[in-house]
Amino acid sequence: MIDHPGLIALVGPNGAGKSTLMKVWAGLERPAAGQARVYGVDPWRQRRRAIAQLGYVPQAPALYRSLTVMQHLDLASTERDGYDVALARRYLVDLAVPLSAKGAELSGGQRAQVSLAIALGTRARVLLLDEPMASLDPLARREFLAVLTTAVSESGATALLSSHVVSDIEDACERLVVLGEGQVLLDGRISDLVAAHAVSATAARAPMGATHVARFMARGHTKQELWRLDGQGGVAPVDEFRPATLEEVVVGYLTLGRSGR
């Protein structure tokens, strides 16, 4: 169940189940075990009611080549009760996306922004974004995230953003979920997760008040150890022992998931 308003990052390797999880919430697939709920609604049994509370942005924007941007917004308004064309239009005007341009004439970044604006026009309580920035350049990613974070902040919606770019996650998201082999490996507020982990370079002894998480390859082909800090007072100083970055936390838990532990 998604029950944390704000922007949530979903990270995991290919095949971990990120897209499948989103399809389950959208009622496109039935869960093999357990239950999925969208504000108390079972999306498999009551798909129409669930979809009424969802907005979805795919990795590859599904735009019609011959329709203009404005025609896409008008089409969305015929398919969704209460669709806010003016809101979607405002986002696109602010980004200087030409409303008269056809889908085939848009750049990759513009197509992604149109897809996002269409989803935001639904004013959905939950937004599912399945790696929508995978093919975007750094500027287009920054603009995409700026619109998304503003919209989520203004609406109080919950947005689940699947992404492999840790810097994007750290700048935009409040919460992180690391998924591996269909299981949640880590879940929490990003600030809390970073504060609760540390890194050492193959220490001869374990830091006091810490539990080993994983050993992973670092830059320069050296090995690093990720530790979870369990003690209330932190850890005792250890040679080459320092706070972990978000990327090191993510890589450590992805390594943990790959090991099958």
Q: Please write the tens of the pLDDT for every residue from 78-118.
A: 999 999 999 999 999 999 999 999 999 999 999 999 999 99
| 119, 241: one domain | no
Contact by Cβ (8 Å): 145, 168? yes
- C-alpha–C-alpha distance, residues 240 and 213, integer Å: 17
* Any domain includes 163: yes
Listed residues 141, 169, 187: the one ending a domain: 187
pLDDT of residue 134: 85
Contact by Cβ (8 Å): 249, 194? yes
Does the pLDDT value for residue 259 go beyond 80?
no
| 204, 181: one domain | no
| 50, 153: one domain | yes
| 112, 240: one domain | no
Does the pLDDT value for residue 194 go beyond 60?
yes
Give tens-digit pLDDT for 121-175. Answer: 999 999 999 999 988 888 988 999 999 999 999 999 999 999 888 988 898 999 9
Does the pLDDT value for residue 220 go beyond 90?
no
Could you tell me the pLDDT band of residue 6, with boundaries at 50, 70 and 90? very high
* Any domain includes 1: no
* Any domain includes 39: yes
Does the pLDDT value for residue 250 go beyond 70?
yes
Percent of the chain residues past pLDDT 90, beyond the cut: 57
| 126, 221: one domain | no
Listed residues 127, 155, 187: the one ending a domain: 187
Residues in Cβ contact with 75 at an 8 Å cutoff, skipping those fewer than 6 apart: 67
The least confident of 56-60, 175-179, 208-212 is 208-212
* Any domain includes 147: yes
Could you tell me the pLDDT band of residue 14, with boundaries at 50, 70 and 90? confident
Average pLDDT over residues 217-243: 73
* Any domain includes 202: yes
Listed residues 187, 221, 242: the one ending a domain: 187
| 72, 95: one domain | yes
For the chain, first and last CA: distance in Å? 25
* Any domain includes 51: yes
**To the nearest whole number, what is the mean pLDDT of the chain?**
88
pLDDT of residue 233: 52
Longest alpha-carbon distance in the chain:
65
pLDDT of residue 9: 95
Sign of the alpha-carbon dihedral angle for 22, 27, 31, 35: positive
| 138, 212: one domain | no
Q: Which structural domain range is residue 134 located in? A: 6-187
| 59, 170: one domain | yes
| 51, 140: one domain | yes
| 33, 125: one domain | yes
Overall domain count for the chain:
2
pLDDT of residue 240: 63
| 214, 93: one domain | no
Could you tell me the pLDDT band of residue 236, with boundaries at 50, 70 and 90? low
* Any domain includes 177: yes
8 burial (CB, 10 Å; 0-12 / 13-18 / 19+) is: buried
| 221, 204: one domain | yes
pLDDT of residue 251: 93
Contact by Cβ (8 Å): 69, 99? yes
